[in-house]
Amino acid sequence: MTSSKEEIKEVETKIEEKPKKEEKTKIELAIDTTALKKLKLVAVAYSHVEREWFATEDAYLAEVEVEERAGEVIDELKKLGIPARGYPSNQYFLTNLLVDKPDVVLNLVDTLRGKDALQTSVPAALELSNTPYTGAGMDGMVINNNRNILKRLLVGYGIPTPNFQFIRRVGTSVQEDLGLPLIVKLNESGGSVGIDNKAVKETLKDAQKQVDKLISTYRIPVIVEQFVDGPELTVVVFDDGYKKHVFVGQKVFKNKPDGKHFFTSLESYDDIDAYKYKRVQDDVLLNKVTKLAVRTFGALRFKDYAKFDIRVDETTLTPYFTDCNANTAFGPDMGLPMTEVMAMHGVKFKDVLASLISKYARNL
């Protein structure tokens, strides 16, 4: 008995669809193994931190892990057969680099003397000494470390971002037309510093209290932002020198920190099960987010790799860029968003590292 035309067509369609699915999930980064053999020394620069430089214990602990992470990256470089050494960003940083003359600096520095805004000093010093380095340059780091400037650029480039207000001084009134609920963020910090389990405020009065509290505690301005309820996406852009690859993961939260909203608080960092990642199944949303992420990467002058946090409005399905992180936490630990999201797409950290370093090794 012969199959009907409809049955034959259905079988052919399934055969055609299978390789397309496999092709979609297989991502290969450009790696130049020949170029890697040229490397005589890779310097891994990391934050030098001391407790007295930080306003709170939480802010200090958010940065102190960078030294341990730098050690893990050094170990991974050595596994690739690449000589590597760590360099703390202290007063001897540039002197040590000028003496050792590394082929490239892998820049993991988050803060200098406890201030995110001073991050730009590292690429500035490396530019001055004509030393190749990974990650964003001075302009990208200036933008990255000032949420006010960053969000204004997003608006200028037509990239969706929630309504916001920049506030410098205690007592400045929160605008009534921002739209409730609201979340208050420090203008110059990362790692969810200042975002506790009660960070989302349902009233203007509560938002005002949080504004005054954060400015008084940290002595830096804040951003008051409309909180967007809906799915939260972590988007990683990685530029291997030939193509900007985009990796998207949707956070699946274990619970609501405040009992009302899903979001990542500083307290949740202590719970490895606070959220898990899953792939985004909506191809229309995925395509929109991918294009916007590449556009944002260029608009903000980021380089090599970056992470973007996006909240999707459940009513309009608009993807709002809430946070943009150049030089996002880089290392083999699966607890790091960039590493975890890329691994979910089949890309191992050792390949990310080899691709990043070989991109610079090719120019030796």
Q: Among 16-20, 158-162, 234-238, which stretch is predicted with the lowest mean pLDDT?
A: 16-20
Identify whether the C-beta of residue 202 lies closer than 8 Å to the C-beta of residue 212: no
The per-residue pLDDT for 54 is 77
pLDDT (tens digit, 9 = 90+) per residue, 252-294?
Answer: 998 888 888 888 877 776 677 889 999 999 999 999 999 999 9
Q: Three-state secondary structure along 19-36? A: HHHHHHHCCCCCCCHHHH
Q: Quick check: 9 pLDDT over 60?
A: no
Q: Quick check: 19 pLDDT over 80?
A: no
The per-residue pLDDT for 191 is 57
Indicate if 229-354 has the same CATH topology as 33-135. no
Task: Single out the residue of 52, 53, 195 nearest to residue 111, CA to CA.
Answer: 53
Q: Please tell me which residue, 117 or 299, carries the higher pLDDT value.
A: 299
| Topology (CATH) of 33-135 | Rossmann fold (3.40.50)
The answer for residues whose C-beta is within 8 angstroms of residue 165's C-beta and 6 or more apart is 174, 175, 178, 223, 224, 225
Mean pLDDT of the chain, nearest integer: 89
The per-residue pLDDT for 260 is 87
Domain residue spans of the chain: 33-135, 164-226, 229-354
E strand or H helix at 291: helix 283-299
Domain 164-226, CATH class in plain words: alpha beta
pLDDT classification of 95: cutoffs 50, 70, 90: very high
Give me the mean pLDDT over the 217-224 stretch.
Answer: 94
| Residue range 229-354, CATH number | 3.30.470.20
Instruction: Give dist(CA 278, CA 249) in Å, integer.
Output: 6
Angle at CA of residue 195, ends 190 and 196, nearest 5°: 145
Bond prior to 83 in cis (omega within 30° of 0) = no
What Cα–Cα distance (Å) separates residue 325 from each residue in 20, 39, 128, 293? 32, 28, 24, 12
pTM of the model: 0.88
pLDDT (tens digit, 9 = 90+) per residue, 309-357?
Answer: 999 998 999 999 999 999 999 999 998 999 999 999 999 999 999 999 9
pLDDT classification of 76: cutoffs 50, 70, 90: very high
Q: Among 58-62, 135-139, 210-214, 317-321, which stretch is predicted with the lowest mean pLDDT?
A: 58-62
Instruction: Give dist(CA 358, CA 220) in Å, integer.
Output: 39
The per-residue pLDDT for 24 is 55
